[in-house]
Amino acid sequence: MSHQNPLVLTLQDLETEALSAIRAAPDAGALEDLRVSYLGRKEGRISEILRGLGGLEADQRPPVGAEANRVKDVLQQALKARETEVASAGGDSGAGIEDLTLPARQRWKGGVHPVNRVVDEIWSIFRSMGFVRARGPEAETEWYNFVALNTPLDHPAADEQDTLYLRDSALLRSHTSPVQVRTMEKYEPPIRIIAPGMAYRRDSYDATHTPAFTQIEGLVVDEGITFIDFKATLAEFARRFWGSGTKVRFRPSFFPFTEPSAEVDVKRVITKKDGTRGESDWIEIMGAGMVDPNVLENVGYDPERYTGFAFGMGPARIAMLKYGVPDLRIFLQHDIRFLSQFTTGRAP
Ligand code: DAH
C-alpha cells in the first residue's frame, strides 16, 4: 500500500475530536455551534478539506474525498442523535438532570375565609330583600362612633378602657354602627343598607374575644317602618340562614342608639347523634332595635316623619356555630391545615 495522504489522518483526528464534543454538548445551541465549526459551508473544517480536493494530485483525490465524506456522514448522524437526546431530556437546561418520574408540584387553590363566607351568605340574603352595601372608615371620630349614636362620652363604652384611641378624639371604630350615621348624613330615606367591616376594642384575646373583629351592620329608615317590619325582616333572615324550622326570639335589651332595643336569639332544628330531630339551645345572634329618634335628629332627619330599625351582628361568632369551631382565635391564626378545609382544592 502506498503511503497515506496526511489529510486522511487529519480527518480521522477531526472525527474523534468532533464526536466527543458532540456527545458532551449540553443543548441544541451547543450542537448548532459544533455543526457550523465542522460542517458549515464557509468555515467548517471538514468542508474546507472537501473544497480543497481540486488542488490535490489526481490519485490522491478519491481516497481523501471518500474519507472526508465518511467523516461528514458520521458527524451528521451523531449530531442528529444527540439533538434528539437533549430535546427529550427537557429542553436546553442540563440534559439528564430532571427526573421525569417525580410527581408534579401540587397547585394550591385559594379559598374564601370561613368568616368571609358567612359575611357573603348573610349579605346575599339581605341583598335579595332589597338592601344595598355601605361602608365607612375604620378610623373614626367620637362623633360618629358615639355622640351621633346617642352615646354620651361618659358612657362606659366610650371609656379608654374599652376603646382604642388614636389621638385626641380620633379612634378605631368600636363597632360598625357609625356607618349608619355616615349613610344617613349622605342620603335621604328610604335607606336599606348592610355594612360589613372590621371593628376594634381594647379586649382580651381569648376563645370568645379578639381585639379586632368583623361586624355586620344593618339599617332601614323610611316613612312608616314599624316594629312589625323589624321583627319580620330579622326573622326572615334567620330562617333563610338557619332553615325554615328556626325559632326566633326578641329579648328586651338596651343600646343607646335604639329604643326599644332587643337581643335576637335563634333556636335551630338539629339532627341528634341517634338521627332523630331535636332543637338547639337558644343562641344570641345580634343586637337590634328601632332607631332612637335622637339619632335621626342628629343626622338631620325629621323623626316625626321617619322611623327605622337597625341591627349589628358578629359573623365570626356565627361562623363558630356554623362550622363547629370552638375558639375564635383559630380564625385569625391562618393555619393552612384549618383553612384548607374551606377550599375546593385538596388538603396538603
Ligand atoms: N353596635 C352594637 C355592638 O357593637 C351592636 C348593635 C346593637 C348594632 C343594636 C345595632 C343595633 O345597629 O341596633 O355591640
For ligand 1, the distance from its centroid to the CA atom of residue 284, given in whole angstroms, is 13
End-to-end CA distance of the chain: 76
Q: What is the mean pLDDT of residues 206-225?
A: 96
Last residue of a domain, which of 42, 74, 89? Answer: 89
Note whether residue 314 is domain-resident.
yes
Output the residue whose Cα is nearest ligand 1's atom 8. 312
Spacing, Cα 331 to ligand 1 middle (Å):
22
Residues above pLDDT 70, as percent of the chain: 95
Asked if residue 97 belongs to a domain, the reply is no
Chain mean pLDDT for the chain: 91
CA of 177 from ligand 1 middle (Å) equals 6
- Return the CATH number at 273: 3.30.930.10
The total of structural domains in the chain comes to 2
Count the Cβ atoms, other than its own, within 10 Å of residue 242: 22
Clarify whether residues 179 and 256 are in a common domain: yes
pLDDT at 196: 97
Question: Which residue's CA is the nearest one to ligand 1's atom 7?
Answer: 287
pTM of the shown model: 0.70
In a domain, 95, yes or no: no
Q: What percent of the chain has pLDDT over 90?
A: 66
Q: Give Cα 260 distance to the centre of its chain.
A: 41
In SS3 terms, 271-311 reads as: ECCCCCEEECCCEEEEEEEEECHHHHHHCCCCCCCCEEEEE
Residue 58 lies in domain: 6-89
One domain for residues 45 and 175: no
In a domain, 123, yes or no: yes
Show Cβ contacts of residue 251 under 8 Å, excluding neighbours closer than 6 positions. 262, 263, 264, 265, 284
For residue range 100-114, list pLDDT tens digits in order: 888 888 777 788 999
